[in-house]
Chain A
Amino acid sequence: MANRGGKGSYPPSKSGAPNGRQMVLISDDSDSDSDDFFEEEAPPTHSKSNGKASSDSLKTGGKASSFSNGSKGGKAFSAGKGGKGSASNAKPAMSDAELKLQLDMSPNSILLTNCEAAEMLQKIQGHMAILSEDPKIKIPESFDKAFQYAKEGNHFTSAKLVKEILEPLKDYGVNDGEICMIANIGPETIEEVYALIPSLKATRSINEGKIAEALTALANIKASK
């Protein structure tokens, strides 16, 4: 992920080139052997020692996370240290295939963009306001946080229009998850799209024109903030 993006790059509120420094992650063995436990494969390009990060370890000041490769022991993430770096000197930490979005929700689930979620939660909030008058009913904190996140992550004025603009991209090699990410990120340029969603590069020759058109259409319905 060596490319620099537009809005929302690190950190978006401050200017300056992101530091291209990478870190070596050294940590302890994982003790993650619960039966309820299932793990996703860690990127194979980074394989130093294992790591552990849990709420217990946070008490002691935090250790590195461990990500097992489906067996006991595991791999951790690592990256080499460099000198004072700039984005141009840094190597990409992971390949495009490794950074591909991996959705593994159940088949009956419907993916929601932030704008759709914001509209849905807005309606629910109306009901919540009535329920909150009852002292026995407590509105969970996660609802407010999720609603706030969806509202702030919503860059557009209408979820329906966003869907109409992005839906046709499915015919050009863009899957649902990638469409959702485009809607959630709200990229301004085509290069930003490919930098943040590298899996689209594989079908760039097919989808570049259509994505560029979609971005132009999305710019017309962008909400002012």
Chain B
Amino acid sequence: MFFHIVLERNMQLHPRHFGPHLRDKLVAKLMKDVEGTCSGRHGFVVAITGVEDIGKGLIREGTGFVTFPVKYQCVVFRPFKGEILEAVVTMVNKMGFFAEAGPVQIFVSNHLIPDDMEFQSGDVPNYTTSDGSVKIQKESEVRLKIIGTRVDATEIACVVLFANSNLDIACLISPRKPAY
């Protein structure tokens, strides 16, 4: 789900940036440092919508850098337990399939895909039921319900099940594309 929240961050600025455009440089640095990041607490920071307040700067001893406390508003996206996400399958292979719901990437392992669904390789790899009635392939839309989450500092792991079915599927939702 999307949220509009106020966050606070301490920004460090090198003295070479001091001058009449100090605020602009702080905001630019804030956007560069924060937009596109993911935290376990707030989820993905999609975009900064405004800066509420920039506090007084404090000079750090020994370095000359100045730390400014900055309050800013931003749009974040974070999955929650009980939420329904509509995801689009992006890749299917014998290990499982990847899907995306906005900035979150979901991986569903083949260990957790029902035995009735077989992996079919070929030009369009897919998982298909034995009777052919259900097929998961690239660009398929799936509706997933999150039934559990675990968060740490930089990523969120969720357990999902397909909404309106009884397929329990565990997956990892991570801002990083996994290497395999």
Contact = CB atoms under 8 A, between A and B. Distances in A.
B83 interface: yes
B164 A9 contact: yes
Given A36-B153, A53-B170, A61 B180 contact: yes
B142 A10 contact: yes
Contacts of B80: 101-104, 177
A79 B148 contact: no
B141 A8 contact: yes
A8 B163 contact: yes
Interface stretch (B11-19, B59-67, B98-106): B98-106
B170 A146 contact: no
A142 interface: yes
Q: Secondary structure of the A side of the interface?
A: loop
A81 to B, nearest CB: 7
A147 B141 CA distance: 17
A112 B166 contact: no
B103 A142 contact: yes
Interface residues of A, number: 104
A85 B116 CA distance: 9
A202 to B, nearest CB: 14
A112 B2 contact: yes
Given A22-B168, A23-B168, A99 B143 contact: no
B68 interface: no
Interface string B35-64: 110101010111101000000000000000
A100 interface: yes
Given A87-B165, A93-B166, A184-B1, A62 B109 contact: yes
Given A10-B143, A11-B141, A146-B77, 8 more contacts: A1-B145, A4-B164, A10-B165, A77-B147, A111-B2, A124-B47, A146-B2, A153-B86
